[in-house]
Amino acid sequence: MTKDDLRERIWDHLETEGIARFPFPPHGRIPNFENAREAADRLADTEAWKQADTLKCNPDAPQLPVRRRALRDGKTVYMAVPRLRDEKPFLRLAPDEVDDIDDATTVSGSSKHGVPVDPEEMPHIDLIIAGSVAVDETGGRVGKGEGYSDLEFAVLRGFDRVDQSTTVATTVHDCQLVDEIETDRHDVPLDLIVTPTQTIDTESSGRRPEGLYWEDLDSETIEAIPVLGRLQP
């Protein structure tokens, strides 16, 4: 089964079984799911969460409870600007800089409350939360198909803001767990998978990308993302 086939299968299942939550339809996005808050609470019980001071989190709806919990727990959250299109391609949401956590952690609110930052201004990232369409217990992950989550990791790796010690986690519904995902070299393996009912330490042996694979990026992508010009050899 290809990644595209797997995405369609999961999106269809979430919709037909009534597991998907707003926004609808779940297709074409990181799908929101019932009991996403329970998954976020379970994530907050992990040692990786307790040890983390700085997070990079995706902006999608199922991880909204994660972002809110992080700020309430005193952690600083970094979110990527859509498609990394700005000169300062990340937004900082710090507990002491945010007055309205509920609004600041939404997609629209993050651009209003977040402080644009350059990767060189960012500290080391302790924990990455990635949005997922499907995952397997060995750490394989399928996103919505645009590749920006892995690209963000590669950019931060290029600036030495993430490394082998950075934990990569996701929150998903149990039905998003599949038997096996065939991964590519640019895919970032997951260390931790959290659902509303279980926490899975993948003990991933997958090799993390050490940076950007320039031969996989077309000229339009490089031109559209200013920060890539600073990393290009």
Question: How does pLDDT run across 54-106, given as a tens digit for each residue?
Answer: 999 999 999 999 999 999 999 999 999 999 999 999 999 999 999 999 999 99
- List the 192-194 sheet strands across, edge first: 115-117, 90-93, 76-80, 54-57, 127-129, 167-171, 192-194, 199-201
The domain 33-231 belongs to what CATH superfamily?
NagB/RpiA/CoA transferase-like (3.40.50.10420)
State the DSSP code for 208.
P
Determine phi and psi for 104, rounding to 5 degrees. Answer: -65, -25
Rounded to an integer, the average pLDDT of 117-123 is 97
122 contacts: CB under 8 Å, gap ≥ 6: 54, 78, 90, 92, 156, 159, 161
Specify whether the CB–CB gap between 78 and 121 falls below 8 A: no
Average pLDDT, the chain: 96
**57's tokens:** 């989190």
Residue 137 pLDDT level (bands cut at 50, 70, 90): very high
- CA dihedral of 164, 189, 85, 32, whole degrees rounded to 10: -130
Mean pLDDT confidence for 123-132 = 98
pLDDT, residue 211, reads: 86
**Residue reference for tokens 């290809």:** 2
Residue 83 CA to residue 21 CA, distance in Å, equals: 24
Residues near 146 by beta carbon (within 8 Å), at least 6 away in sequence: none
Residue 205 has pLDDT above 80, yes or no: no
Instruction: Give the mean pLDDT of 111-115.
Output: 96
Q: What are residue 205's phi and psi, to 5 degrees? A: -105, 5
pLDDT at 119: 97
Structure tokens at 26: 């779940």
- Of 35-49, 130-144, 196-210, least confident by mean pLDDT is 196-210
- The CA distance from 140 to 135, in Å, is 5
pLDDT at site 209: 85
Which range, of 15-24, 109-118, 146-155, 207-216, averages the lowest pLDDT? 207-216
The pLDDT of residue 206 is above 80: no
Q: What digits encode the pLDDT tens for the residues 48-64?
A: 999 999 999 999 999 99
Q: Which of 110, 205, 213, 117 is nearest to 157 (CA)?
A: 213
Average pLDDT over residues 168-187: 95
Residue 208 pLDDT level (bands cut at 50, 70, 90): confident
